[in-house]
A and B are shown apart, each in its own frame.
Chain A
Amino acid sequence: MSTYQEFIQQNEDRDGVRFSWNLWPSSRLEATRLVVPVSCLFTPLKERPNLPPVQYEPVMCSRANCKAVLNPLCQVDFRAKIWACNFCFQRNPFPPSYAGISEVNQPAELMPQFSTIEYIVQRGPSAPLIFLYVVDTCLEEEDLQALKESLQMSLSLLPPNALVGLITFGRMVQVHELTYEGIAKSFVFRGTKDLSSKQIQEMLGLTKPAAPGQQGRPVAPQDAAASCRFLQPVHRVDMNLTDLLGELQRDPWPVPQEKRPLRSTGVALSVAVGLLEGAFPNTGARVMLFIGGPPTQGPGMVVGDELKTPIRSWHDIQKDNARHLKKATKYYEALANRSAVNGHSIDIYACALDQTGLLEMKCLSNLTGGHIVMGDSFNTSLFKQTFQRVFRKDYNGDFQMAFGGNLEVKTSRELKVCGAIGPCVSLHSKGPSVSENEMGVGGTSQWKLCSLNPSTTLGVYFEVVNQHNAPVPQGGRGAIQFVTQYQHSNTQRRIRVTTIARNWADAQSQIQLIESSFDQEAAAVLMARLGVFRAESEEGPDVLRWLDRQLIRLCQKFGQFNKDDPTSFRLSESLSLYPQFMFHLRRSPFLQVFNNSPDESSYYRHHFVRQDLTQSLIMIQPILYSYSFHGPPEPVLLDSSSILPDRILLMDTFFQLVIYHGETIAQWRKAGYQEMPEYENFKQLLQAPLDDAQEILQTRFPMPRYVDTEHGGSQARFLLSKVNPSQTHNNLYAWGQETGAPILTDDVSLQVFMDHLKKLAVSSSA
């Protein structure tokens, strides 16, 4: 067997799974002692160009509470045409269609390379995709113009049969009818009144007055005809909608001085959710909310319209001074849950210089798998390109989005599911494999993912069931099956099944093996997710303390040291990077709110808990490349010592892409050397990071903020705040030296962090 590195890579490529431990401890106690739980990052729709879906339905275990899908790990009796479920050991006959099965004629799902397989099921009518634009009109003229153009452009990106709808809002909420002739018609809702879904549907004329006796019957989706007025196939209303968007005016209500415009985001969303709920329940739909400021009235209001009362800051929240916070959050949570139940996802595109209330609204996207995009203005390429990228297509020409996902996790008996962290909501499916011990969204073995894309990644946490005195027998393998049902963007229903297995190991005798099976990258991300999840509900310092404690315990467990001798401390290769990740995680905006607004924190956390491992790692520890005349570009330490006058640095923090010109380079650039033919090489040097940046910009979603700065530039703060402050104004020895740039901060540097860590790890009292 090759190295674990390769194994991990292979697994990730094939199944989209990365486990923190690739050997599993055989008892609960041992598992607990490993500090990092048995858990994995799972990317349900990982792009698998080489995985053609099969056109039949999966074969499932007949045991009612198992229903595991036939997989390569199952024992098959080809002669008896019977297979044994590897989760519940139920023996199942093959269905009649499998009559011709034999050792040499195996269905795909039994082949080992198909540990991940995708089925296309022909169940139910295929519903078109639905896009409902919810547009804030309280924007500056220029912003609105840009937004209108983006929206008009997006019409051409939609599949022609997709249904579109338009809701605009400001002080009022308008639902536009799209099939008008002559006078444009819209239904208007008061921005301050919370309406029930039923009321909304009545007011929109979607419900016929229920005949007596039919009361209480849910509105049948057949009513789609009626709702057609609001949701129309793109190809039919293209013109109307383009005109409508073109004529869209800024909110016509005057905004007095010292007031914010009245923005009824809450009601607008409620109407959008209500409309879809009534017309298209359980069908993939995307509500796209475009806002240019915080909700200022009605339910879900985040801040009053008085400009003199600023929007809540972390400081206010800590002091319990944020008046609307709880109420608004509760309101949006309720909406998000309703929306999630129906499989509709909500995107938020928030473009404003100030906060827009993402803190309160984040759950809309977090629970429904929608995107959150935060920018300064709709008139920036950040927004425009990001928005375009929502409609990216894959190599098959299908949208890279899937709807109405449902992830079920099945485990073999030795394991139980503790929970998941990611853009999902619990489906409250209790089963034998559900653990009492919740981590993340727990208490269930099924989650709803209203919207998925190939990079959507969940952290799934497990627990070993067996008690210390009755460990899992050696040589066995534990298995986990992920069953993901979803609506493909081409409207097919599909089921993707991933079945993985890992060996059990006795932690006492095989601790080295276990240690070497440690995937520190995955572990760092999984621990970070746990931390971020906690941070949502706990005080920041508590989370940090918890993280520190976990790290120390891990180091104590796996470090090699002499008691009370910090200098003797060593970590094996498989753990060597882990403390550094933790160091940067502690400093990251996911856990540190200092210098970030509540909205920014929400935004960062939103992306952190859904991106795949690579992106997540970049978020935790940004990547720094250095360009110089001395050689090809090289990754350098994320450290202040890397900031040198004759280098150009390119930093990727996922959210920002910073190109930093060192002092000398900046002077040269200013002097215009790059213009001179004799300094062609300088020009090339300048160009190199730009090209690399461009490459990243091309693929990243959401598009990062692109910063081009130089030594002493105000925007250099983006870089300076990220690097390890190894040289500060405090450590005097650095002063006057030519190397690196001192950072004016009181933050501890990695060195100090490590010193403390070692000290604590080796301390016998700890």
Chain B
Amino acid sequence: MAVCRRHGSGETRCSFEFDVALRFSQRRRGSLSALLFRMSQQGYVAAPPFSQAQPGIGGYQGGFGAPPAQPLYGHYGGPPQGFNAPPAGMMKSPPTSPAGMPPSPVSSQYNPSVQQNGAHPQRYASPSAASPPYGQPSQSVYNSMASPAPPTQQLANQMSAMNLGSYAPGAMQSHPPPPTSSVAQQHFQTPAPAMGQPQMHAAPQTPHMASQNQMSPPQSPLTNMPASGQSMGGQPFPGPPPSGQGAFQQHGTGPGAPSGYPQQSGQFGGLMSGPQPGMSGGFPGAPGGLAGPPQKKLDPDSIPSTTQVIEDDKARLGGQVFSTNIRGQVPPLVTTDFTVQDQGNASPRFIRCTTYSLPCTAELAKQCQVPLASIIKPFAKLPENETPLYVVNHGETGPIRCNRCKAYMCPYMQFIDGGRRYQCSFCNCVNEVPVFYFQHLDHMGRRVDFYERPELSQGSYEFVATLDYCKNNKPPNPPAYIFMIDVSYTNIKSGLVKLVCDELKTLLEKLPREDGAEASAIKVGFVTYNKVLHFYNVKSALAQPQMMVVSDTAEMFVPLLDGFLVNYQDSRAVIYNLLDQIPDMFADTNESETVFAPVIQAGVEAFKAAECSGKLFIFHSSMPTAEAPGKLKNRDDKKLVNTDKEKTLFQPQKGVYEQLSKDCVAQGCCVDLFLFPSQYLDLASMADVPSHTGGSIFKYNNFQVATDGEHFLRDLRKDLQKSLGFDAVMRVRTSTGFRATDFFGAIYMNNTTDVEMAAVDCDKAVTVEFKHDDTLSEESGAFMQCALLYTTISGQRRLRIHNLSLNCTSQLSELYKCCETDSLINFFAKSAYRAILNQPVKNVRDILVNQTAHMLACYRKNCASPSAASQLILPDSMKVFPVYMNSLMKTAPLVGSTELSTDDKAHQRLSVMAMGVEDSQLQLYPRLIPLHNVDVSSEAVPDPVRCSEERLSDSGLFLLENGHSIFLWLGQASPPDLIQSLFNVPSLAHLQQEHMFTLPELDNPLSKKVRAIISELLEKRPNSMKLQIVRQRDKLEMLFRQFLVEDKGLHGGSSYMDFLCYVHREIRQLLT
């Protein structure tokens, strides 16, 4: 059983103990919580059920335990499903299955298990059904087990009652009394072992218990102990040391670990295809499953829950003010609504770090393997109630900077010598204060004008840049937007061209403008193209627009300047005329070939000629096959998936695009790409430029105006109206001892320090990795300053400065405490997505798992109080890290499935590279919002539930969104009245195709509420999402299921539970 509890040191422990069959249902928790509260504060202790050495188990172990370690491992590397399969199979497998399981060789074991996957149906069993059986017993057990945690200071805020509630289930089931087991038995009839549980626990367990345990590992209840100051001893955990040893032994005994991998992976690879049929098979069976008794239900509530963590944080910090006046302060989660008060450090909206306490030494950093990184979103949108950045103007001298390291004046500069000089906190250089800037110091040694100068008191602010900061020492021109529309046959036929043209007429009125400006300073230009490019002269003086055809695609140029980029207000009539005519002009086209690189080149040339920066909006349909630079050929080869050459699918095809990116960045030309493919178009190559220029990539497969039109237009509107900075260069300076070494994002790096972005908008984030140069001092801490030089939408040159101070520590526990999972996963996602360009996906997955295990093992070893090896102990700050990591590995780029389109993989890869923490969090852990019991009278959006099939109910309505897709899932037993209120049809069966993409506007509270929720979500997310309405067991449901990240992946990848077990195993191996 899994026991979770709060541990004094602020960690989550999950110990999986074989013998404890207890499960705590949610309902029980309430009662538990009180107990837990007292006993352990911080640790989650999940005692997995596997620990026993029972015969049944033995077999299990054989499969799972020792030798398995490697197989599993290989498994991870390879097609992940193999791994999942066994547990899943176990869980659901009919009683007969056990036979297959036991001692048989690994491979054979898996196979059957795979088949058993088909048993999914059981999943449908609603948790509620299972609940009764669950473990009250545990409570008592728990009580007894729980040992007082050491009184380590646990920040109250870390623990909330909520946590307790959610994780409360049995703390230490390890020693649970038989009663538990009896209960469990019902559930888990099949002996199918879940994870190889070493015989952690006392043998006493009965066989059933064992079997039950096996099933349940995932359930391992996690306890959240209240944050109350008390700490509970770490020792409590049931798993006696010896058991742990056992586990290790098993590992040890396994075949030569490393050598074993490859073969095994091969084996598993073979399995891959298996699971899917299994899956599909599962659906039909579902009803049966439902009907059936919830036999071997594992309690998923027992493992750390993301939704819970989010809710806890929300409850604790939601709506509060976060003042940035303290060094190294860990901000609320990205999912929490809070208000930031800038008091000397940049708002977490601008910068988030993987940890807010840096390790003092490189050794320490190496030891814990926690990546040190910041995710900087320099243009993050601030909520209305937060003060926008102040603009500081130092006149002709320009911003004051340190003479040596060129850091900008900031709150960390130490004024000395009566204010005549200041010491740079980054390089320690002592600088003279310029005469005009001199100010006396007060008794605190602070400048008297401290509060009058944003650059002294704020974490983020802007400087007006002088001509020295401008290209060619000339003030920049206002930026321009060029709309480049592919008018080849496909786009004409799909109606896209007309749609875009019509939309632009109104949309252009809403170009972003400087606050208070009457009209946007942005100029606009229009290009259409197929094999050749057509530029349009829309000079206001003309009666008719003029078309200029450039067919020299080999060496692109812009045929005109004056009249091409115009002020929309002035040329409105001509532009209208043009937009009206474009669809007609090409109505009869039969040109199906397109060019692409020359189109971007044309944009660059236009900006070059106009001496401005800007953005290209390209609406493109197909692979550019016309004879021109950047011509692409179909190289989509599914055979490469899961081979060493898979990386080539992610790499851009030609050097042309590389050079083009360079040109774009040099000119400040950002490219936003809207793709409307009907087949493979080599997105990896086509999106190379957007992904280096701070652009976005939007993709609408098989675009049809009727179904995707609105979706696309929403994207376009959002994208067009985004506020952004152009022609940006970002530099991250750090105090001595560490420095920025690597950068991830939609950026271009010409050298190792300057991050160049043709444009950067409010959703683009750059992830920066830091490395030690030297030792950091705990006392002085660490500083970073991110300076972004850019051009505003009205054409002013500015410097945006974000400062952040961090703590430094030589205590690993402190470091772990200050980690932030969301940021970590952002970093991991980006680094993994970059890594797959250079190495096989399998390696990357291995590395991810390894590092995850390593981080956690290090914590376990150095920070956690001693406990049984069978316990999985997670730092509190990372307790949901595994679920994200698992989700990450199941993402299209990493999962290594041939089922997924190469373009989709590339698309996802590139989108994530530019994401901020908020978006990556959502992407990796979608919101699943139950709607069937929504309170129509309240404003609030219902709390999301965990992304797992088990949370769905036949009679439920759920909304799922991950920032890119949004689904409305209708259980097949959805109450007709709900369907009636939402769709105005009597039942699900009456839903027609046209209902599948929109909700009708009906005048009833539920419809209003649901639509309000959806539109609020659409409003909030950077991308528009296409609403898809999915009926349970529709074909489309497969799509939907992909996003249930806690479940086994549809295209491979293990379930959360399995992953946790696997990581646990790895950790234990590391700890030996």
Which A residues form the contact surface with B (CB < 8 A)? 172, 174, 182-190, 193, 195, 199, 202-205, 247, 249, 252-254
Residues of B contacting A195 with CB < 8 Å? 552
B585 and A183 contact, CB distance less than 8 A = yes
B520-545 CB mask vs A (1 if < 8 Å, else 0) is 00000000000010111101001111
Residues of A contacting B535 with CB < 8 Å? 188
Chain B minimum-CB-distance residue to A182 = B581
User: What's the least CB distance linking A274 to chain B, in Å?
Assistant: 13
The CA of A189 and the CA of B557, in the complex, are separated in Å by 8
Of B220-228, B558-566, B1033-1041, the one contacting chain A is B558-566
Residues of B contacting A249 with CB < 8 Å? 539, 563
Q: Identify 4 new A-B residue pairs, CB closer than 8 A, beyond the known A188-B560, A247-B542, A254-B562.
A: A183-B544, A183-B547, A185-B534, A190-B557
A204 and B555 contact, CB distance less than 8 A = no
Residues of A contacting B552 with CB < 8 Å? 189-190, 193, 195, 199, 203
A187 and B585 contact, CB distance less than 8 A = no
The CA of A182 and the CA of B537, in the complex, are separated in Å by 13
B562 and A183 contact, CB distance less than 8 A = no
B544 and A188 contact, CB distance less than 8 A = no
Residues of A contacting B563 with CB < 8 Å? 249, 252
B559 and A172 contact, CB distance less than 8 A = yes
Chain B minimum-CB-distance residue to A203 = B551
Given the known A-B contacts A188-B535, A193-B555, are A183 and B546 also in contact in the complex, defined by CB atoms under 8 Å? yes
Cross-interface CB contact of A187 among B544, B546, B550, B609, cutoff 8 Å: B550
Residues of A contacting B578 with CB < 8 Å? 183
Q: Does B835 count as interface, using CB distance less than 8 angstroms?
A: no
B551 and A252 contact, CB distance less than 8 A = no
Residues of B within 8 Å of A, CB-based: how many?
A: 29
A183 and B559 contact, CB distance less than 8 A = no
The CA of A357 and the CA of B181, in the complex, are separated in Å by 103
User: What's the least CB distance linking B600 to chain A, in Å?
Assistant: 17
Residues of B contacting A204 with CB < 8 Å? 551
Residues of B contacting A190 with CB < 8 Å? 552, 555, 557
B562 and A184 contact, CB distance less than 8 A = no
Given the known A-B contacts A172-B557, A182-B544, A183-B581, are A188 and B550 also in contact in the complex, defined by CB atoms under 8 Å? yes
Q: Does B291 count as interface, using CB distance less than 8 angstroms?
A: no
Q: Does B203 count as interface, using CB distance less than 8 angstroms?
A: no
Cross-interface CB contact of B549 among A186, A202, A247, A252, cutoff 8 Å: A186
A187 and B560 contact, CB distance less than 8 A = no
Residues of A contacting B609 with CB < 8 Å? 253
Q: Does B429 count as interface, using CB distance less than 8 angstroms?
A: no
Given the known A-B contacts A193-B555, A247-B542, are A186 and B562 also in contact in the complex, defined by CB atoms under 8 Å? no
Residues of B contacting A186 with CB < 8 Å? 546-549
User: What's the least CB distance linking B14 to chain A, in Å?
Assistant: 67
The CA of A252 and the CA of B535, in the complex, are separated in Å by 14
Query: What's the dominant secondary structure at chain A's contact region?
Result: mixed
Which B residues form the contact surface with A (CB < 8 A)? 532, 534-537, 539, 542-552, 555, 557, 559-563, 578, 581, 584-585, 609
The CA of A193 and the CA of B557, in the complex, are separated in Å by 11
Nearest 6 CB-CB pairings of A with B: A252-B562, A188-B559, A203-B551, A185-B547, A190-B557, A187-B549
A188 and B555 contact, CB distance less than 8 A = no
Residues of A contacting B562 with CB < 8 Å? 252-254
User: What's the least CB distance linking A10 to chain B, in Å?
Assistant: 59
Given the known A-B contacts A252-B561, A252-B562, are A184 and B550 also in contact in the complex, defined by CB atoms under 8 Å? no
19 interchain pairs, CB-CB under 8 A: A172-B559, A174-B548, A182-B581, A182-B584, A183-B545, A183-B547, A183-B581, A184-B546, A185-B548, A186-B546, A187-B548, A187-B549, A188-B535, A188-B548, A189-B552, A249-B539, A252-B561, A253-B561, A253-B562
Residues of B contacting A174 with CB < 8 Å? 548, 559
Chain B minimum-CB-distance residue to A180 = B547
Residues of B contacting A202 with CB < 8 Å? 551
The CA of A202 and the CA of B543, in the complex, are separated in Å by 31
The residue in A174, A188, A249, A252 that gathers the most chain B C-beta atoms within 10 A of its C-beta is: A188
The CA of A252 and the CA of B560, in the complex, are separated in Å by 7
B585 and A188 contact, CB distance less than 8 A = no
Chain B minimum-CB-distance residue to A247 = B542
User: What's the least CB distance linking A148 to chain B, in Å?
Assistant: 16
A184 and B559 contact, CB distance less than 8 A = no
Cross-interface CB contact of A182 among B532, B555, B585, cutoff 8 Å: B585
User: What's the least CB distance linking A154 to chain B, in Å?
Assistant: 23
User: What's the least CB distance linking A171 to chain B, in Å?
Assistant: 8
Residues of A contacting B536 with CB < 8 Å? 183
A184 and B547 contact, CB distance less than 8 A = yes
The CA of A252 and the CA of B539, in the complex, are separated in Å by 10
Chain A minimum-CB-distance residue to B559 = A188
Residues of A contacting B548 with CB < 8 Å? 174, 185-188
The CA of A252 and the CA of B609, in the complex, are separated in Å by 12
Residues of A contacting B561 with CB < 8 Å? 252-254
The CA of A185 and the CA of B582, in the complex, are separated in Å by 12
Given the known A-B contacts A247-B542, A252-B562, are A185 and B549 also in contact in the complex, defined by CB atoms under 8 Å? yes
Residues of B contacting A205 with CB < 8 Å? 551
User: What's the least CB distance linking A270 to chain B, in Å?
Assistant: 13
Chain B minimum-CB-distance residue to A192 = B557
Residues of A contacting B546 with CB < 8 Å? 183-186, 247
Chain B minimum-CB-distance residue to A244 = B546
Residues of A contacting B547 with CB < 8 Å? 183-186
Residues of B contacting A247 with CB < 8 Å? 542-543, 546
Residues of B contacting A183 with CB < 8 Å? 536, 544-547, 578, 581, 585
Residues of A contacting B549 with CB < 8 Å? 185-188
User: What's the least CB distance linking B583 to chain A, in Å?
Assistant: 12
Residues of B contacting A172 with CB < 8 Å? 557, 559-560
Residues of B contacting A184 with CB < 8 Å? 544, 546-547
Residues of A contacting B550 with CB < 8 Å? 187-189
User: What's the least CB distance linking B647 to chain A, in Å?
Assistant: 36
User: What's the least CB distance linking A215 to chain B, in Å?
Assistant: 15
Residues of A contacting B532 with CB < 8 Å? 203
The CA of A183 and the CA of B582, in the complex, are separated in Å by 9
Residues of B contacting A185 with CB < 8 Å? 534, 546-549
Residues of A contacting B551 with CB < 8 Å? 187, 202-205
User: What's the least CB distance linking A180 to chain B, in Å?
Assistant: 8
Chain A minimum-CB-distance residue to B564 = A252
Chain A minimum-CB-distance residue to B531 = A205
User: What's the least CB distance linking B559 to chain A, in Å?
Assistant: 3
The CA of A183 and the CA of B557, in the complex, are separated in Å by 21
The CA of A321 and the CA of B292, in the complex, are separated in Å by 100
Chain B minimum-CB-distance residue to A195 = B552
Residues of B contacting A182 with CB < 8 Å? 544, 581, 584-585
The CA of A387 and the CA of B537, in the complex, are separated in Å by 31
The CA of A193 and the CA of B545, in the complex, are separated in Å by 27
User: What's the least CB distance linking B7 to chain A, in Å?
Assistant: 71
User: What's the least CB distance linking B731 to chain A, in Å?
Assistant: 32
The CA of A171 and the CA of B558, in the complex, are separated in Å by 10
Chain A minimum-CB-distance residue to B549 = A187
Chain A minimum-CB-distance residue to B535 = A188
The CA of A252 and the CA of B563, in the complex, are separated in Å by 8
The CA of A186 and the CA of B539, in the complex, are separated in Å by 16
Residues of B contacting A193 with CB < 8 Å? 552, 555
Residues of B contacting A199 with CB < 8 Å? 552
Chain B minimum-CB-distance residue to A252 = B562
The CA of A492 and the CA of B174, in the complex, are separated in Å by 111
User: What's the least CB distance linking B551 to chain A, in Å?
Assistant: 4
The CA of A174 and the CA of B557, in the complex, are separated in Å by 13
Chain B minimum-CB-distance residue to A181 = B585
The residue in B551, B578, B581 that gathers the most chain A C-beta atoms within 10 A of its C-beta is: B551
User: What's the least CB distance linking B852 to chain A, in Å?
Assistant: 55
The CA of A172 and the CA of B537, in the complex, are separated in Å by 14
The CA of A193 and the CA of B544, in the complex, are separated in Å by 30
Chain B minimum-CB-distance residue to A190 = B557
The CA of A252 and the CA of B532, in the complex, are separated in Å by 22
The CA of A195 and the CA of B585, in the complex, are separated in Å by 29
User: What's the least CB distance linking B1048 to chain A, in Å?
Assistant: 52
Chain A minimum-CB-distance residue to B610 = A254
